Structure 1
Amino acid sequence: MSTVEYEIKNTAELRHAEDALRMAELEGMRPLPRISIHAFCESEELQRTMERCGNDRRMAKVSLRVTSGGIAAAANMFAGAPTPNLIILETRATSASLLSELAPLASVCDPSTKVIIVGYHNDISLYRELIRNGISEYMVQPVGMADLMTALAAIFIDPDAEPLGRSIAFIGAKGGVGSSTIAHNCAFGISRLFSTETILADLDLPYGTANIDFDQDPTQGIAEAVYAPERLDEVFLDRLLTKCSEHLSLLAAPSILDRSYDFEGQAFQPVLDVLQRSAPVTVLDVPHAWSEWTRSVLGSVDEVVICASPDLANLRNTKNMMDALRKMRPNDKPPHLILNQVGMPKRPEITPSDFCEPLETDPIAIIPFDINLFGTAANSGRMISEMDAKSPTAETFSQLAHIVTGRIAVKKAKKGGLLGLLKRK
């Protein structure tokens, strides 16, 4: 055996030993949450590595897609499609040209999207520049399965990392104003429009209607999570969820009166913590009540949406709720307002402009009263966009999905993904 052959053999054996060691370290790695990953591979080696990752048990909840191509292919694809939670890009670009090649992708990439670049140049200056511009990780080929899995864990499982999920709470200013219906349609729209894994949690344990609206009859749900916080983790939560559509899961309420549902102030906090670690978006259907636990939920979520009908009682309640929430959340933007059931025949109403003037806010949506559309959808266990995708109301729910997830006000989104490159443009 020649000296060169001997060195190659030793190098291969050393790399195999290092891979085995890394794989052993992954044994204790928790499963990845419900995220979407799209990998763009220029080499067959990386494609095979991604396929190995996709078959790993820790990726069971991950929606993985692998495409041949590099940065240009990604920019072209996402010019007309929503970006996933993570993009993996393989590129042979030089250190001098890589940032400029990323610019077209930066212009179409959602700021919340994370990015891993797999390159061929071991350049510490380039690494620092990419990290400074919002790239989550830069890895140099050859990259093994253990390397990628470790990087994914650092981004989405690391306890010091930002919470994965965005939580949005819907609550009615008065009973019967359709807050639950709006919450359910928004959750469905978010999951469908953006292909984003979404969890809808029905917090109205005695009277929740999410199971009816989605034509589901789960045997377990949120009650098991609330009453057994010591058992609650991502694995236990996964057993309690019911699949409603490709990207939407339901944490259903029992909707039975076999006990009283009195909760301490922080009763739902463990559930919210696990939900935020489990999916990019959580929609909370909060019942019309004002107690310690509802105050705690509304005080801890990322977005609050108040739904109201245009009458005097709703105006009074909305004003009181907004004032209270502004005090509870002094460093957050005010709650969103949705006016629902507008234009009900023979009902005296306050005009939207007169309703909103004392609130010092504008509604993000005004939904007209349409008993046939909403009634038929409710009785058939379907969402509005499934009943009539071209209706103005379906378009309103589409706009709401963009607003409550922050996809319209992009400049206000949290730092992440290619935000640094967007700022440089």
Structure 2
Amino acid sequence: MSNLAYDTSLDSADTAHQDISAMQAVRPIPRISIQAFCETEGVAGPIERAGEDRRMARAHLKVHMGGIPTAIEFYQSAPTPNLIILESRAEPKQLLEQLYQLSEHCDPTSKVVVIGHYNDVGLYRELIRSGISEYVIAPISMADIVSVISSIFVDPEAEPIGRSLAFIGAKGGVGSSTIAHNVAWSMSSLFKSEVVVADLDLAFGTANINFDQDPAQGMAEAVFSPERIDEVYLDRLLAQCAENLSLLAAPSTLDRVYDFDAEAFTHIIDTAQRTAPVLVLDVPHAWTGWTRNTLTKADDVVITATPELANLRNAKNLVDMLKRLRPNDPPPKLIINQAGMPKRPEISADDFAEPLGLTPMAIIPFDPLLFGNASNNGRMLGEMDAKSPIVASIGEIAHVLTGRSDVKTKKKAALGSLLERLKRARK
């Protein structure tokens, strides 16, 4: 039935995958208050899970058990929130009567979503006619809830928000920043699309060196003056690196300490996402409140690692933590860098990826000449040698992260004694 767009009866085995797929197009929910009144755990559970999703981070959600009668009693002495979600197993006539009683205690500006158990076109039309924002038929999924809320509170006419791609190294010195900068450059040149690079390593960031830039202002001015941040001010802070590539550079100085609270970069990132289709976040190898928050809220996370044991341990910790922090998002992407370094014992790519449960987007070989020349000259790899296989790999990463191609799966390899070595390393 076309009017009941959120009628779901998916097989439980497919629900998690369907939720992740459906959530990719959902934009973040604004700072609103939501209260839900449920009659069944089958509805309360998905709503509670929706409240834990990163797209709902700004919203305040409270779930009550009891349905519409409980809501009527509750709002006799409490103000109504921006959105009320009501589950009812009542027949259509009784449901309409209960909603009429509730309306006597509700602020007219409050939106109402009803989750019912009757697939009735007449009821749907009557509810919409009476001012109900949406009628959803149980059973519902977490993605249904977030999608409904988004359809009500996110302006479809608003300018699209760019995707944020967070790059972090499993260990210091693995080349995460270099990969991030080259992927950003590749996106801007291959697809002729605006890309912004934000260097979040204020003390030791290398984006200014890699892009041969020395801007007078950048990330420091943004993070230490959050009250001034808007799209106009941010545009003044950006350094133009190429035709479609801009940089929010780190000062890379030690004249002050850079201790931030967990939300320090949130407003900057939100504003930057409104200025370009792609925002590349160069996240330093650290575990603080703000790095955790940045990784949690990014649209995609890319982990760069070199093929040795400490990197495997750190990458496994990151993957496991991000899975808990981002249960409704795809797992992070993996890049294995500096593979085949002479005289260095290393873990094969298959054995490295197996315990992570990931297929590497790319395996980039050790090439100190190409990378060293590019770094020393302030140029990107594609500018130094456009025909290099490494440059082709960087281009493929750009295609995957922009949704133009998928990661190619490979046959899994045996682990041998690798997990035992990882266990010993943790002791």
TM-score strictly above 0.5: yes
CA distance in 1, matches of 2:157, 2:352: 43
**Which of residues 281, 294, 302 is equivalent to 2:299?**
302
Of the three residues 288, 295, 300, the one matched with 1:291 is 288
Q: CA deviation at 1:159?
A: 8.2
Query: Partners in 2 of 1:202 and 1:160 — Cα distance?
Result: 31
1:355 is matched with 352
Aligned partner (choices 271, 279, 282) of residue 282 of structure 1: 279
**TM-score normalised per structure 1:** 0.59
Query: What does residue 378 of structure 2 align with?
Result: 381
Asked if structure 1 preserves the Cα contact closer than 8 Å seen for 2:159 and 2:274, the reply is no
2:175 maps to 1:178:
yes
1:405 positional shift? 1.2
One-letter code of the match for 1:390?
Answer: K
Pairing 1:247–2:244 present: yes
* Secondary structure of the corresponding residue to residue 265 of structure 1: coil
Map of 1:328 onto structure 2: 325
The verdict on how the C-alpha distance between 1:165 and 1:234 changes in structure 2, with shifts beyond 3 A counting, is same
Amino acid at match of 1:315: L
1:321 shift after superposition: 0.2
Correspondence for 1:206 among 187, 203, 206: 203
Match of residue 408 from structure 1: 405
Residues 1:191 and 2:191 aligned together: no
Q: Distance in 2 between the 1:255 and 1:285 partners?
A: 13
Deviation per CA, 1:317-362: give whole Å up to 9, x if none: 0000000000000000000000000000111100111111111111
Q: Which residue pairs with 2:388 in the alignment?
A: 391
SS in 2 for 1:357: helix
Q: C-alpha distance in 1, partners of 2:189/2:234?
A: 22
Correspondence for 1:346: 343
Sequence identity (%): 65
How far residue 185 of structure 1 moved from its aligned partner, in angstroms, is 0.1
Output the TM-score relative to the length of structure 2. 0.58
Q: Residues 8-407 of structure 1 correspond to what in structure 2 (within 5 A)?
A: 161=158, 163-407=160-404
SS at match of 1:244: strand
1:164 is displaced (CA, Å) by: 2.2
Whole-angstrom CA distance in 2 between matches of 1:163 and 1:269: 18
Q: Distance in 1 between matches of 2:217 and 2:246?
A: 13
SS in 1 for 2:208: helix
User: What residue identity is the alignment partner of 1:249?
Assistant: S
Opposite residue 317 of structure 1, the aligned amino acid is N
The SS at the match of 1:184 is helix
**Highest relative contact order (Cα 8 Å, sep 6+), 1 or 2?**
1
Give the 3-state SS of the residue equivalent to 2:312 in structure 1: helix
Q: Distance in 2 between matches of 1:160 and 1:299?
A: 27
Which residue does 2:422 correspond to in 1? none
1:162 positional shift: 6.6
**1: CA distance, partners of 2:406 / 2:374:** 31
Runs of 5+ consecutive residues of structure 2 not aligned to the other structure: 1-153, 408-427
What is the alpha-carbon distance in structure 2 between the residues aligned to residue 344 and residue 274 of structure 1?
41
Q: What's the counterpart of residue 149 of structure 2?
A: none
How big is the alpha-carbon RMSD for the aligned residues of Structure 1 and Structure 2?
A: 1.5
Deviation at 1:202, TM superposition (A): 0.3
Whole-angstrom CA distance in 1 between matches of 2:270 and 2:356 = 31
Cα contact 2:218–2:250 (8 A) shared by 1: yes
> Residues of 2 paired with 1:312 and 1:400: CA distance?
24
Which sections of structure 1, spanning at least 5 residues, go unmatched?
Answer: 1-156, 411-425
Distance 1:225 1:163 in 2: 22
Q: Report the secondary structure of 1:305's partner residue.
A: strand
| SS of equivalent to 1:313 | helix
